[in-house]
Amino acid sequence: MTARIHIKKWNKRINIQAAGTLVLLLMVFFPMVLQAETIKLTLEQAIGLGLKNSSSIRQKMLKVASAGADLQSAKAARYTDVSASVSYSHLFEQPKMDNTTFDLGEGPVTIPGMYLSAQDPIMLELSAQQAIFTFGKIKTGIKLANEGMSLARLELEEEKRSLIIKIKRAFYGYILAREVVSVQEATLANKQEALDIAKKRFEAGLGSELDMLSAESDVENFMPEVISARNRVKFAILAVMDLLGIEEQGGKTYDIELVGDLKPEYHRLDRDRLVETAMKNNYNIQQYRSGINAAEYQKTLAGRAKYPSIAGFANYSVQSGYDSITGKNKYTGKGSWTDLLTVGVGVQMPLSALFPWSSENAGAKKSEFDAESLTTGLSSLESGIRLSIQNILLSLEEEKAKIASGKKRVEVAGKFLSTSKQSYVNGLISNTRLKDAQLNLNAAQLGYLSAIYNYNMALYDLYDAIGVDSL
């Protein structure tokens, strides 16, 4: 009786300790569970999040703002330039004329010396300058700044388009990795099923121990393939998180789950229309054209540097006075301030630009060479893009055929494996034949998935070539 009571008390103490341990574990791990947040994202949501979080896009937006400031600065040359100034000076030794003595016959007459300037003069000045005629230099400068603004906007749009394509590639890379895991796990299940059959046949005396050991070895040998596939999913999701700008913040972690299916994006593709779109939208082509325009404007600007600039100016100044006898400053009262208004027209002629060895002539020649070089490069680029589009279209047709063939191959391989399983159960085929059927289905499924993925990647190559993010 005592023993039973002792045992009950001991069991109760163990249960209390276990309950305490459980509470402690919950206290430790429950906040960690709460800290993790699962985010489910479709492709469209992933793209929206990536565009929102991209530091590269923010950088390009700042460049657009900077180019806008340059454009405003270039336009400001058309308006009147107004400036105001206030100056104060202190003369430690105030200049003064000596006394002058004249002898007029009736005795000498002395004229006291006068001060030549105030000791603490104050001057207020307002100036204005307006360009009247510059032979198109201001207009060309505005065109050049406009080209810089267009290029900055082009770079911003290209950054967005490029990021969208990168997210699509990474998204379907993850979906492919996830589908591969499903295939590998299904293959492992088939091998485990074959092992179970081999064990039952061996226990029933219908199969050999060698068959059972072979099936067991097959399961263990395939396990690394499953582990590797699962790791590729982890790597793929890290790539997606990097593109989306998702990071741990304040100790809070995120679990990302991408929602989507691996399926081909079929479109009706017309080569001539694709080439036409590429000539209009391709970033590199637009960049070349912008460079050619800028070089032409630089050439025009350098050429017009030889011509004069005509500008009108006006200056109004007010200066404090002083008593020439005592040298004291006069800031208030009648006659304490004097003013002066100056108005005129100035012509500035850069004579050095007229010489053949001038920097202006050298700049014009350089801009001409740059424009010619860019034009040649543009022609070569356009030819390369046409050829690239043709090659991508051939790749798309190839992958499309592989998808159709792969789908049929998966169906046949699945039926073959099902028949092989039944034959193996009945002892009509060996474990090696069943293993071949499993691997055949595995290869067919992986090949089918790869064909779909490769088709979409080739399609995104086409998007890059023609300068779009979708069709």
Angle at which helices 271-281 and 359-425 pack, to 10 degrees? 140
Residue 433 lies in domain: 137-307+376-471
Retrieve residue 313's tokens: 């100016």
96 assigned to some structural domain: no
Name the residue among 296, 302, 294 with its Cα closest to residue 135: 302
Angle at which helices 431-466 and 209-244 pack, to 10 degrees? 20
Retrieve residue 49's tokens: 């999040």
Separation CA 327–CA 8 (nearest Å): 117
Separation CA 99–CA 172 (nearest Å): 100
Domain count, the chain: 1
Separation CA 390–CA 328 (nearest Å): 90
Q: Over the range 68-83, which residues count as b (16 or more CB within 10 Å of their CB) and which as e?
A: eeebeebeeeeeeeee
Name the residue among 126, 100, 134, 188 with its Cα closest to residue 301: 134
Separation CA 128–CA 316 (nearest Å): 9
220 assigned to some structural domain: yes
Q: What is the pTM of this model?
A: 0.80
108 assigned to some structural domain: no
At 280, the amino acid letter reads K
> 98 CB contacts (<8 Å, ≥6 apart)?
113
At 219, the amino acid letter reads V
Retrieve residue 348's tokens: 């500035």
371 assigned to some structural domain: no
pLDDT value of position 99: 76
pLDDT value of position 28: 37
351 assigned to some structural domain: no
Mean pLDDT in consecutive groups of 10 residues from the start of the chain, 471 residues: 35 39 38 59 95 94 95 92 94 83 69 82 94 90 94 96 97 96 95 90 85 90 94 94 77 78 94 96 95 90 86 94 85 87 90 78 85 91 95 96 96 94 88 91 96 97 96 89
CATH at residue 405: 1.20.1600.10
199 assigned to some structural domain: yes
45 assigned to some structural domain: no
Q: How many residues does the chain have?
A: 471
Separation CA 384–CA 372 (nearest Å): 19
